[in-house]
Amino acid sequence: MKRLVTAVFAAAILAVPAAQAAPVKKAAPAKRAAARPDWVHTVVRTPEGGMRMGNPAAKVKLIEYGARTCPTCAAFTVGGAPLLTKAYVATGQVSYEFRDYPIHGAIDLAPILLGRCVPNRAFFPLLDGMMANQRALIGRPGEIPQAKQEELQKLPPNAVAAYLGEFYGYTDFIVKAGLPAARAKACLADRKALDAIVAQAAAANTAYTIPGTPTFIVNGVVADKVVDWTGLEPVLRAAGAK
């Protein structure tokens, strides 16, 4: 995971075209078929605060409201998302947007703030890494001492997020993945970003009444009682994916 995300950061820095010699006139080559767009690496931030992968004009638009501390979400990311990506996103039939939803409250804030702290192309690789390592992170042994819990209740939300990020290992995880420690600290302290998370969760409840995570929205309609790939794929196909 560290090599993958670090490579993304490096690519952003090194993507400077090299100088080229003057072209030599040659016979015009035979026309080739246009290459298929790389939809899997076409990733943009949406006005609603999510990150969308894929063809913006896809016939089927999938949104997942997920939590990085949710075991069912992790199971979908690890087992279902690769199938979704290969069969439907890569072909341009489906666009896939992930929207963070803090189902567990304060515990979710650090991984969300850190998970949004990277370039667009690194968002999904980092999400995959957090989900794949969720059990090791959120399931760490030991509990927060009672005195510390009482202290946290008196601290501002960003300070709580910073502490929990350290306690559960999310901060160390993203630093090892290649994000500078100072940048991680700044993202955890970003009150504007935290307020946006709260506002986006409220907007989600107004628009869809999120019953839990994951919640899948297909072309604007909640996929009722669908929480895994087995249940989701038939909904995508019914909406027009092939």
Q: pLDDT at position 228, please?
A: 98
Q: pLDDT at position 26, please?
A: 56
What are the distances in angstroms from CA 212 to CA 26, 67, 207?
61, 9, 14
Residue 118 near residue 180 (C-beta atoms within 8 A): no
Instruction: State how beta strands 94-100 and 221-222 pair.
Output: unpaired
Q: pLDDT at position 140, please?
A: 76
Name which of 72, 73, 66 is nearest 50 in CA terms: 66
Burial of 236 (0-12, 13-18, 19+ CB in 10 A): buried
pLDDT in tens, the chain (242 residues): 333 344 433 333 223 333 333 344 555 555 565 678 999 999 999 999 999 999 999 999 999 999 999 999 999 999 999 999 999 999 999 999 999 999 999 999 999 999 999 999 999 999 999 999 999 999 877 889 999 999 999 999 999 999 999 999 999 999 999 999 999 999 999 999 999 999 999 999 999 999 999 999 999 999 999 999 999 999 999 999 99
Give the separation between CA 55 and CA 116, rounded to whole angstroms. 21
Q: 4: Cβ–Cβ under 8 A, 6 or more apart, which residues?
A: 125, 129
Give the separation between CA 68 and CA 77, rounded to whole angstroms. 10
Q: pLDDT at position 158, please?
A: 97
Q: pLDDT at position 193, please?
A: 97
Using the Cα atoms of residue 196, residue 202, residue 203 and residue 209 in order, give the sign of their dihedral: positive
Give the separation between CA 8 and CA 172, rounded to whole angstroms. 18
Q: Can you give the pTM of this predicted structure? A: 0.85
Q: pLDDT at position 4, please?
A: 39
Q: pLDDT at position 142, please?
A: 80
